[in-house]
Amino acid sequence: MDTFAEAATGRDALVSRLRALLPDGSVLDTDEAQRPYECDGLTLFRQLPLATVLPSTEAQLVSVIRLCREAGVPIVPRGAGTGLSGGATPHAHGVLLSTAKMSRILSIDPLARTARVQPGVRNLAISEAAAKHGLYYAPDPSSQIACSIGGNVAENSGGVHCLKYGLTVHNVLRVRAVTIDGEVVEFGSGALDSPGLDLLAVLVGSEGMLAVTTEVTVRLIPRPQLARCIMASFGDVGVAGDAVAKLIAAGIIPAGLEMMDQPATRMVEPFANAGYDLDAAAILLCEADGTPEEVDEEIARMSEVLRAAGATGLRVSASEAERLRFWAGRKNAFPAAGRVSPDYYCMDGTIPRRRLGEMLRAIQQMEVKYDMRCPNVFHAGDGNLHPLILFDANDPSSLARAEAFGADILELCVKLGGTVTGEHGVGIEKINQMCVQFPADEREQFFGVKRAFDPHGLLNPDKCIPTLHRCAEYGRLKVHGGALPHPELERF
Amino acid sequence: MATADRAEELVDQVRSAFGRARRLRIRGGGTKDWYGEPPADGSAETTLDTRIHTGIVEYDPSELVVTARCGTPLAELEAALAASGQMLACEAPHFGAQATVGGCIAAGLSGPRRATSGSVRDFVLGAKLINGRGQHLSFGGQVIKNVAGYDVSRLLAGSLGILGVITEVSLKVVPAPVAEATLRFDGVPEQVALERLNRWGGQPLPLSASAWSAGTLHLRLSGAAAAVDAARSALGGDRLDPVDAAAFWTALREQSAPFFAGDVPLWRLSLPSTTPPLTGLDTSAGAGAGLVEWGGALRWLRSDAPAALLREAARSAGGHATLFRRGQGKSGAHGMPAGCFAPLDPALLRIHQRLKAEFDPAGLFNHGRLYPGL
Ligand SMILES: Cc1cc2nc3c(=O)[nH]c(=O)nc-3n(C[C@H](O)[C@H](O)[C@H](O)COP(=O)(O)OP(=O)(O)OC[C@H]3O[C@@H](n4cnc5c(N)ncnc54)[C@H](O)[C@@H]3O)c2cc1C
């Protein structure tokens, strides 16, 4: 704490030292200039940092880290700021380090099927640049037009196609990153494995707490010749959930398998004109891709399973335009929530697929308990839920209820054998729920991993892993409020 | 199928070793005893046998996840999956009938399907670990997407036991392909094979394995029947009888194929797939003594050339070289005995050392098996 306080008083000195390291206009220190950086996609948490820096090169980034390390100033890395868990929320006594000016695609090797890119490159830009070679980058978060690859690596982001094609961790070959000591380290390589421990696997999903990514080599895969999508309607959400399990049990891995309940389709439709069946209690979007023969074969098999599982109607996309419309609705679910409600709070738990029906019924009860609406969209194939709690942040009671509602959902995910976050990360948002998911020994081992990379705790501090103290506080709070939803949860 | 939950005994053994500062060598079926650095002083180690803790804990095919204890025979796990039409996509080698699930994860070795389907670590969803303080910890879980906390379970894949005893693991499984075909192309020089493999890799073909050696290229296609048929007519080649094909890929995976016989050291070079043929590295038989897998990304060489030469060739191509099997020959005869794995860059080594100290502060587990001092 002392070092932080000193850093605060030495703010002007810090800013001028940062200015000496970076080109003009790359260090922001006024409130107005820093306003766009005060929060990420989780707008509930806002905080201005001491200063915001935008290095243009790795060498500049290294010099910033060395300076901060020497001065004991915390660093929070930031990509595009679309994160939904507050991972890029600035530190009051720290420097916010944006990769916005490191946004070049360095090379694409069509024969080796790899792209080497700077961290600030947008996810979709990689696929756009690879398209002329018939290749693309598979993980496709709904935020792909905006989010950066550096952020994707930090969160191990997924997308609607990751059941078949994997998450970020499965599609990244190499990450070049700077440690808190200012050393440039290569994790992974252009080969399929590397000597020693698989540190790349730990770096992916580490929420900017272990090192700052300066370059990424991703794997590109051939674009399928054809993709078609089935929209299947169901009269009951539980039946739709069971249909998902039946598809998988039939040995089918759809290229995409998403579910939306009726409140979600009705919320999205006026906004996206996706052509959804608004009378259905739930719809499944179920995609096949590959050669035309393969797609025909798979669409036929999937249709058969879906019908037998109780689908009340099936519509197969008749054109690429229609297929994209089906997906546009799904991918615009969050913005649509933002349109129908002053605010929305997006949850991200994952549960075993067989518990989907149970979970949905519990959420319906919670809607009554908290008197709030909660449409649901899911990466159903992965069991990854995105309940969208609609609330009004200007109404303190509404905000408090939304937070309690969210905590209830996440803690039920743990109880059902799942996890509090499937792809959005813990950040500061779910830090209390980490106390529920992991006992103290596990959390201490996580701190051990953190210390191995960042012994001084300067990289994105106080996020992701809660301290013993914090968990004790959370436990007390819940007992006091008498609101401990699942007292049996203390063991994972 | 035996099942026994004996985790408590394993924990007790670790705690007692911790109390007496006695080193442990973690061992399953012993099928990979030869892999990694040999113990500096075997007599200073007690063997911890993981086979007492055995059995499939949970398997629900519709979840695509299986959870098994470390001592479960790998063959038993694979048979259980096959009975539900599923499999481990990484096609890990067994190197002996006694191979266990724990050893498979700790060794982290993947088989022919690696380049197209992923590695052992890619399929790890969760793991339980006894660390060097005798704490039994649980990381990850049984769901396909999970980013809560650092991904310690994937870190365990390939850790060769230096971070602790893996007692249980949850793995993502995949449906076995509906159709499969193996094609053979003769008279293909290495350079041509590499070009073709990389070009095909960029096309939407249902490739699931490749192998080139001595002028012959084998290609395996797996997937929907329509896709396999279409690819077969597009690619040409001679189709192997399915029984011969299965035997071929098993012999490759288990290294029982003739290429792997003999005493010359076996080097494993993991390289960018487009790396041109390496020349001047195999002292025994000249060009053509190599075997190429993984669409060009894995090259096996029989060579008693100096380790430094092989390591530098791999490094300058952007990969690394492992002395996979030392053979009876003169490996290391050219000066210092060669280490098994390519040396780490100093910054990476420091992170390794600190991680080891955090997981295993007393240095109990598999001392020196991955790198000296770790
Ligand atoms: C509408 C919407 C839809 C979304 N849909 C999805 C989805 O489908 N799937 C999904 O997984 N996510 C989704 N997200 C969440 C978010 O887009 C992803 O987490 C994304 O990867 C964040 O990238 P970013 O560049 O915006 O990172 P930021 O928000 O800027 O940062 C995220 C984290 O990464 C760290 N970080 C950023 N850059 C670096 C770096 N160079 N080095 C080290 N650490 C770094 C930050 O410190 C922070 O902890 C969605 C978000 C929105 C707003």
Q: What is the pLDDT of residues B33-50, one digit of tens each?
A: 999 998 777 678 999 999
The rounded distance, in Å, linking the Cα atoms of B361 and A263 is 53
The rounded distance, in Å, linking the Cα atoms of B164 and B365 is 6
Q: Which residue in chain A has the smallest CA separation from B61? A: A249
The residue among A440, A433, A439 whose CA lies nearest residue A414 is A433
The rounded distance, in Å, linking the Cα atoms of B343 and B370 is 10
HEC-encoded secondary structure of chain B = CCCECCHHHHHHHHHHHHHHCCEEEEECCCCCCCCCCCCCCHHHEEEEEHHHCECEEEEEHHHCEEEEECCCEHHHHHHHHHHCCEECCCCCCCCCCCCEHHHHHHHCCCCCCHHHHCCHHHHEEEEEEECCCCCEEEEECCCCCCCCCCCHHHHHCCCCCCCCEEEEEEEECEECCCEEEEEEECCCCHHHHHHHHHHHHCCCCCEEEEEEECCEEEEEEEECHHHHHHHHHHHCCEECCHHHHHHHHHHHHCCCCHHHCCCCCEEEEECCCCCCCCCCCCCCCCCCCEEEEHHHCEEEEECCCCHHHHHHHHHHCCCEEEEEECCCCCCCCCCCCCCCCCCCCHHHHHHHHHHHHHHCCCCCECCCCCCCCC
Q: What is the pLDDT of residue A458?
A: 98
Question: Residue A340 burial by CB count (10 A; 0-12/13-18/19+): exposed, middle or buried?
Answer: middle
Write the CB contacts of A462 (distance below 8 Å, at least 6 apart in sequence).
A91, A428
A222:B229 CB<8 A: no
pLDDT in tens, B208-243: 999 999 999 999 999 989 999 999 999 999 999 999
Which residues on neighbouring strands pair with residue A383, listed in sequence order?
none
The rounded distance, in Å, linking the Cα atoms of B64 and A79 is 33
**β-strand A51-53 against A27-28: which pairing, if any?**
antiparallel
Distance B323 CA to ligand 1 centre (A): 40
Residue A155, chain B, CB below 8 Å: the answer is yes
Q: Which CATH number fits domain B7-175: 3.30.465.10, 2.170.190.11, 3.30.2130.10, 3.30.750.200?
A: 3.30.465.10
Residue A485, pLDDT > 70, answer no
Query: Do residues A284 and A305 lie in contact, with contact meaning Cβ atoms separated by under 8 Å?
Result: no
Pick the residue with more confidence: B281 or A433? A433
> Which residue has the CA at smallest separation from atom 45 of ligand 1?
A208
Q: How large is the ipTM?
A: 0.96
Local confidence band at B336 (pLDDT 50, 70, 90 cut-offs): low
Distance A88 CA to ligand 1 centre (A): 8
A185:B122 CB<8 A: no
What percentage of chain B has pLDDT greater than the value 70? 95
pLDDT in tens, A127-185: 999 999 999 999 999 999 999 999 999 999 999 889 999 999 999 999 999 999 999 99
A290 contacts on B by Cβ (under 8 Å): 204, 206, 223-224, 227
Domain spans, chain B: 7-175, 179-335
pLDDT in tens, A402-433: 999 999 999 999 999 999 999 999 999 999 99
Strand B124-130: give its sheet, edge to edge: B56-60, B65-69, B165-172, B124-130, B136-140
Side chain identity, residue B53: H
Q: Which atom of ligand 1 is nearest to the CA of A76?
A: 47
Cβ < 6 Å from ligand 1: which residues? A 40-41, 76-84, 87-88, 99, 119, 141-143, 147-148, 150-152, 154-155, 157-159, 207-208, 212-213, 334, 423-424, 460
Measure CA of the first residue to CA of the last residue in chain A; give whole Å: 33
pLDDT in tens, A170-227: 999 999 999 999 999 999 999 999 999 999 999 999 999 999 999 999 999 999 999 9
Distance A360 CA to ligand 1 centre (A): 27
Interface contacts (A, B; CB < 8 Å): 267
Q: Region A349-371: what's the mean pLDDT? A: 93
pLDDT in tens, B262-276: 889 999 999 999 999
